Structures are given as structure tokens and as C-alpha cells.
Structure 1
Amino acid sequence: MSDKVAVVTGASSGIGEATARKLRAMGYHVYAVARRLDRITPLADVGIRPVRADITDDAALVDLVKQVLAESGRVDVLVNNAGYGSFGAVEDVPLDEARRQFDVNVFGLARLTQLVLPQMRRQGSGRIVNISSIGGKIHEPLGGWYHATKFAVEGLSDSMRMELAPLGIDVVVIQPGAIATEWPAIAGQHLLATSGRGPYADQAALGAAILAVEDGPASPPSVVADAVARAVRARRPRTRYPVGRAARVILAARRILPDRVFDRFVRTMLRTLARVVARRDTGQGRLIGNRA
């Protein structure tokens, strides 16, 4: 494995950091990519190469791939993990923010994939691992733009899988459920800033409080890193790997239930999570209980 090379985006914390460490432990030469170099510099201590690049900066992505090929000569695995959640009512979210959500979650992913594919084609091998979400198959209130990006990642991945298979390149989707990272709290802040006042305020208060439960029913980032490891080890990887607490149950419910029944399922699930919040913070719980 000593000559195998992996590139992991969004590697400054959480899923990306855990994945970079996992692939390094497997023997890969790993390039960890993030906007903030100070957050990824400590990864050099375990032999990971930190590289600063903004996933929406085309010139930075071109330079990244040139650097990887100049230093290592190949790219075997690309883990497209960089992304964020922009939550708020569709009515409230400015279109500039909606476009930025797509730039980060979809177009950045697509552009970096475009840049590594010529080398993978020359090798006759490679694996693209796109970190999507169960949010690419389900929906929830006040998450319209985020879910739209993840639905796009799912469709893009399916098409790429078919067109790249004859060239020896696999495309895999990882679908995390609830994962204990910085992401939920940041998404909750976005939600309150966008829809915390006005006609959607009650729904926003409920959603943000649920997202901010740091010790709630979430799995550690390592479960996603382990799924990536399975995907890159497998001779014939699965097309999708749902991981994290309740991910399979929720996806199964979406496949089985009609749309309006699934809507009720989501609302029931949100109320259940609200009760979890209530048990952890009595004051906040009373507020959420009244609004739920």
C-alpha cells in the first residue's frame, strides 16, 4: 500500500480528519485538504501532508492536484468530504447563500473530481468516495437548500458511477446519519440567523435546539472513516454505505412510506428529539415542548 495516494477534503476536523487518519493508518500517502492550514498542520505528526485549499477556489484546486501528482505521481482515492449545512426556510435564505451552498457541497466536489480523473484514467484505476448524507434521500423542514445539494450529490454520483466503471474507476457514496461533529451546532446557528425571527421562528427554535445537542443520539466520526476504509478495501465496493445511528432505519422508512406519511414520520421524530433535549436542559426543554 506504500505507493497508494489518497486526497481527503474537509480534513480539519470531524469526518474528514478521522478519514485522513484512518487512510494513513492503512498505509496510504494522504493529502489532507482544508481552508485553515492551522487546523490540519497537526496531522503532519502522523505522516499526513496538510494542504491549504478552498474547495470553491478553482486555481487552488488546480494547484492541489498539480502538487499531488508532482510529489506522488498518482491519485488512487479521492474522498470528497468538504461541505456545510445552510439551514433556514427557503423563503428566508438569500439566493447568494443558496448558491454558496451549491458551490461548496456540489460544484467544489465536482471540480476536484474532474481534476483527478485524467490521472485515474491513465492509471486505469481509482476510487471516488463522495460523503453525502441520509439527507440526500430524505427531507426535513427548513433544510431545503442543504437537502437539494445532497440530492444533487447522489444523482451526480450515480451518473459518474456508470460512466466511469468501464474505465476502472469506482464511485461510492457514504450516507452518514447523525454524527457527533461541529457540523450540527454550526448548522443550528445558520438556522437561527436565517429564520430565527418571523413566521418560521418556532420551527427554527425547535430545529436549532435539536441540532445543538452535543451529546445527543449521534455516532462518532470514526464510523464514517471505517465505512470509507471498507469502500476503498473492497474489490467490488457497494454503491452506498449508510452509517451512523438510525441511518438505515430512516432510509428504509423513506423507501417504504408514501410522501405525506413520511412527512408525519419526520415530524414525530423531531418531537421525539425535542423530548431528548428537554431531559437535558429543563428550561430549554419547556420552551421546545410548548413550541413542538
Structure 2
Amino acid sequence: MTEKIVAITGASNGMGLEAALLFAKRGWKVYAGARRVEKIPQDEDKIIAVKLDVTDSASNQDFVQQILTQAGHIDVLINNAGYGEYGPAEEISMDKIRKQFETNFFGAVELTQLILPTMRAQNYGRIVNISSIGGDGYMPLGAYYHATKAAIQQWSDVLDLEVSQFGIRSVCVQPGGTQSSWGAIALNNSKANLSEHSPYQPLVDSVSSGLERFMKSSAKASDLAEVFYKAATEIKPSLRYLHSFSDKFMVNVARKHPQVFRRAILAAMRYFERQNKK
């Protein structure tokens, strides 16, 4: 029986790391790509840690070539690498905005383009794109993060229409809040992106307070790894995979009742602003 091969980006922590461990536990060979490969537990029989910077074309090409040279095929690609370049939309520099898109969107696009010829030749494959409930909903300070997640969903849907004729499917997982380093990084970025004497300082303070509380009550990364696995292996895949009822509810409201969603966000902002003033 041919060994099942999965390539996972952003596999050094959080959901990506937990997904690598889960796939390996269930008998897959995992090529775990990340910039900080020292954080990936290596087991040459099951987990191969590979240096990968998804914003670098040469790195993406080397990643795919290593897998094909060693394994000969790729069954599943999980485009998980990403982060939140949070801050006021007015004040984040264009360099950082471009980096946000290079990491969260263009990296996934390039890796997928590199892998698709092999998947077409084998007449099978699954592309699992990690979006977010923030691909439909949104919150202040996350303008460019949300834009990348909305982009990857639309791109994934079009891709699925084009490649399903070859036995390949492209699907999205939309995690909500997850207990990982993602929230801390996003909060740190929101503060670092403030200009001196910024008029957005009170907004950053109130949103930071709300996001900190939200992340503490969020799902475990290992819970989301199970969703990754389902999206990668389900025989008749859905276009979207969500973890909890609250995630599904939030996305449903954002899609079908955008004005209600906006009012809810405004109410939450006012609440956390009052809390910060106490």
C-alpha cells in the first residue's frame, strides 16, 4: 500500500504542529514546513521537518521538490502558515500589508501551483486552505488579516471548480479563536503598528482587552487539528469546515445578516471600552 503523504505549512506551533502530530499518529508521513524547524519534533519515519518560508519562491520550490524526490507523490497539502498583522488600517505600513498577503495568501497560492501538476498526474489530491471565521466576519484592527482570509476563500472556491475534474478538491477550514501564540502576536502587532500620539490608541486598548478574553476561552489547537484531518480525508468533502456551534453561528450571521453582525461588533467595542475605563 502506498504511504499517504501530507505537506503542512506553518507546522512549528499551534494548529499546524498539532495537525502534524495527529496525521503522523494516524499513519501518514508528514512533511512539516516552517521557518523555525527546531520547534518541530522529528521522527524520520513519520515527521520530516523542512525549512520553509512561504514568502520566498525558492523556499517553496525546494519544499515541494524535497517531498517529490523523497516520497514521489503528495496526497494532501494543508496551507496553514499565517499570522495577524493587526493595527489601524490607516497606520499599518504598505510593507507590512504586503507581507501579510505574501504570508497568508500568496504563499498558499504558489505552493498549490507547484503541487497541482503532480496531483493531476495521479488523478487525486486534496488542498486544505486554512482560512478563519474572520474570512466572513471581522473586527477592528484586523482589516488586512480579514482581507487575506476572504481572499483565500474565494480563491479556494474557484480553484475547486477548476480542479475537481481531475479528482482534486480544494476546501477551507475556518477556525475561530484558538489557544496558541496567534493572539499574542496579533496583539503585539496592533500596538507596534500605532503611530506616535495615534488617535486609535483607545481603540487598540479596548480591542486588545476583548481579544485577550476571547482567546482564553477558545478551542485547543488539538481540537482544530481534528477538523484539519476531517477536511483532508472526508470522502465527500464540504467547501467549508468549522469547529464549534459558536463559530458556525457567527459566520452564518456575518454572511446572512451583515447589519446585525456590524451592530454586534459595535456593541462589543462599546462594552470593552467601558470596561477599560473602570
Partner of 2:206: 206
Q: CA deviation at 1:244?
A: 4.3
- Matched with 2:172 is 173
Partners of 2:170 and 2:132 lie apart in 1 by 15
Identity %: 38
Q: Which residue of 1 aligns with 2:57?
A: 58
- Evaluate the alpha carbon distance shift between residue 168 and residue 137 of structure 1 in structure 2; reply closer, same or farther with a 3 A threshold: same
- Alpha-carbon offset, residue 258 of structure 1: 3.6
Q: Does 1:158 align with 2:144?
A: no
How much does 1:255 deviate? 2.6
For the 8 Å contact 1:187–1:211, the answer to whether it is kept is no
Alignment of 1:31-46 (within 5 A): 31-40=31-40, 42-44=41-43
Provide the secondary structure at the position in 1 that maps to 2:174.
strand
Greater alpha carbon shift after TM alignment, 233-242 vs 182-191? 233-242
Paired position in structure 2 for 1:247 = 247
* Contact map agreement 2:29 2:45 (CA 8 A) in 1: no
Q: 1:125 touches 1:167 (CA, 8 Å); kept in 2?
A: yes
Change (3 A) 1:6 1:258: closer
Q: Give the structure 2 partner of residue 230 of structure 1.
A: 230
**Aligned letter for 1:225?**
A
Matches within 5 A, 1:62-81: 62-81=61-80
Distance 1:149 1:37 in 2: 25
Any unmatched runs of 5+ in structure 1?
275-286
CA RMSD, 1 decimal: 2.0
Provide the residue aligned with 2:113 in structure 1.
114
Q: Distance in 2 between matches of 1:139 and 1:115?
A: 31
Matches within 5 A, 1:93-108: 93-108=92-107
Change (3 A) 1:88 1:165: same
1:21 CA displacement: 0.9
| Alpha-carbon distance in 2 for matches of 1:108, 1:178 | 22
Q: Are 2:3 and 1:8 equivalent residues in the alignment? A: no
Distance 1:45 1:181, change over 3 A: farther
Q: TM-score, normalised on structure 1?
A: 0.89
**Higher alpha-carbon deviation: 57-66 or 203-212:** 203-212
Cα deviation for residue 267 of structure 1 reads 2.6
> TM-score, normalising length from structure 2?
0.94
1:283 match: none
**1:127 equivalent in structure 2:** 126
Unaligned ranges ≥5, structure 2: none
Separation in structure 1 between the aligned mates of residue 255 and residue 64 of structure 2, nearest angstrom: 38
Deviations 1:73-104 (A, max 9, x none): 00000000000000111110001100000000
Runs ≥4 in structure 1, deviation > 6 angstroms? Answer: none
Report if aligned partners of 2:173, 2:241 keep a CA contact under 8 Å in 1.
yes
* 1:199–1:21 Cα change, 3 Å: same
Higher relative contact order (Cα pairs below 8 Å, separated by 6+ residues)? 2
CA offsets, 1:151-171, max 9 Å, x none?
Answer: 111111011010011011011
Deviations along 1:219-266, one digit per CA (max 9) or x if unpaired, are 00122111111122211111100124721121121133243x321111
Give the match's secondary structure for 2:11.
Answer: coil
Figure out how many residues of one structure are paired with residues of the other and give that number. Answer: 277
